[in-house]
Amino acid sequence: MPFCTADPNLRNDWLTVGAASQLRAAPAAHPVPARLLGNDLLLWQNDAAAPHCSADGRALPIISRYGYLWVHTGDGPAPALFELPEFAQPGRRIVDCGGIGVATSGLRVVENFLDMAHFPYVHTGTLGKVPHTEVAPYRTAVDAASGEIWATECHFFQPRASASAGDGIDAHYRYRVMQPFTAALYKTCPNRAGEWDVIGLFVQPLDDEQVIAHVLLVYDEDVLLDAEMIAFQHMIFGQDKPILESQRPRRLPLSGPLEAHMRCDLTSSTYRRWLRQRGVTFGVHREPGA
């Protein structure tokens, strides 16, 4: 079975197939199945715990970074994977929140991750609260060297910004889009002033309209148990899920009259323009006849 897209944005880059820990009990004789771009993959590790991957009987390059497995499905050389320096910082708490399936285009999942205006309505009482609904102006830019999107100077009033937050705070955010299907947010750390907690979103596209959204926490946190941090993250994601799954069309429109754009949607319009400029077609809505 071939991959369901030839889009070079996907085929030439690394795509995640989930946590590296899934290979712990997966020798070559008992590989773990995974699905990517409409194709069935097999993953295993050899005696030296090096990951391996095959699809259609062919070996595919696979690496393990940030506790996740990344596969290259294209023919040419793969670019370097994005950097996440906080991952290796001493004292950081790394928590893999696992992958949750969502029936929508991965581009919708990333766009939702970049949005603050929904906080008071979808994450009521935690990440936002009516009447603190206004999104103050912030900046977006595409970094010339890396080609990544950065949104900076974002902030939003949050009654309970994280699992360990006590009182409401004006949380500061920075957003980063590394690939069409990977993003990170950097937010005010309630425990240490001046530090950023990092949440990584790595979307595994099963096909144009089905994904597994993996979330990685790279936090400054000493007290909470993993289960408590995961519970908070799953609460947030679980609240987003019915919204994401009700969006029509499922695939993301990059232009045209289907959806309205306002100034408060700056990360969304930046992201869509960036996808258009890169010529992304996978997971993108096309008008019939277009």
Partner 1 sequence: MIRLYDYELSGNCYKLRLLLHWLAVTYERIAVDFHPGRAHKSAWFMQNINPQGQLPVLDDDGFVLRDAQACLVYLASRYDPAGHWYPDDAQTRGRIQLWLATADDLTRGISAARLHYSFGYPADIAACERQGHATLRLLDDTLAENHCHGTRWLAGGAAPSIADIACFPYAALAGEARLDLRRYPALQAWIGAMRHRPGFIAMPGIIDPAL
Partner 2 sequence: MTTRCDWFPALPAQALTVANTVVAASVCGQDLALWRSASGSVQAWEDRCPHRGVALSLGRVLGDRLACAYHGWEYAAGDGRCVAIPAMPHQPVPGKVCVKTFAAAECQGMVWVAPAENPPAVPPPVAATDTTPHFLRSIAIAVPWAMVEAALAAHDFTPAGPCQWRGAWAGHDRLLLWTLDASADWCLLHVASAAPPPQAQLPGLFGALRHLRERLQIAAGT
Q: Is 288 in the site for partner 2 (CB under 8 A)?
A: no
Site string for partner 2, 236-275 (x = CB under 8 A): ------xx--xxxx--------xxx-xxx-----------
**CB crowding 79-88: b at 16 or more within 10 Å, else e:** eebbebebee
Q: Is the dihedral of CA 87, 93, 99, 102 positive or negative?
A: negative
Beta bridge partners of 198: 186, 218
- Residue 86's binding partner among partner 1, partner 2, none (Cβ under 5 to 8 angstroms by kind) is none
- Shortest separation between residue 147's beta carbon and partner 1, angstroms: 31
Query: C-beta of 232: minimal distance to partner 2 in Å?
Result: 21
Q: Is 117 in the site for partner 2 (CB under 8 A)?
A: yes
Burial class (CB in 10 A: 0-12, 13-18, 19+), 264: middle
Kindly write out the interface string for residues 1-20 of this chain, putting x where it contacts partner 1 by CB under 8 A and - elsewhere: ------------------x-
**Minimum CB distance to partner 1, residue 242 (Å):** 6
- Residue 152 makes CB contacts below 8 A (sequence gap 6+) with 138, 139, 140, 141, 174
Bridge partners, 140 (sequence order): 151
Binding test (CB under 8 A) with partner 1, winner from 101, 139, 146, 170: 101
Q: 23 or 183, CB closer to partner 2? A: 183
Cβ neighbour number for residue 203 with a 10 Å cutoff: 27
Lateral strand order in the sheet of 62-65: 14-19, 68-72, 62-65
Q: Which does 212 bind (CB under 5 to 8 A by kind): partner 2, partner 1, none?
A: partner 1
Nearest Cα to Cα of residue 279 among 3, 6, 4, 2:
6
Q: How many CB atoms lie within 10 A of CB 91?
A: 9
Among 40, 56, 83, 134, binds partner 2 (CB under 8 A): 134
Q: From start to end of 49-138, where are the E strands? A: 51-55, 58-59, 62-65, 68-72, 93-102
Q: Per CB under 8 A, which region of 49-57, 70-78, 236-244, 252-260 contacts partner 1?
A: 236-244
Under rule CB under 8 A, residue 122 binds partner 2 = yes
Residues lying near partner 1 in the complex (CB under 8 A) are found at 19, 96-101, 103, 120-121, 124, 129-130, 212, 225-228, 230-232, 234-239, 241-242, 245-246
Residues lying near partner 2 in the complex (CB under 8 A) are found at 117-118, 120-122, 130, 133-135, 242-243, 246-249, 258-260, 262-264
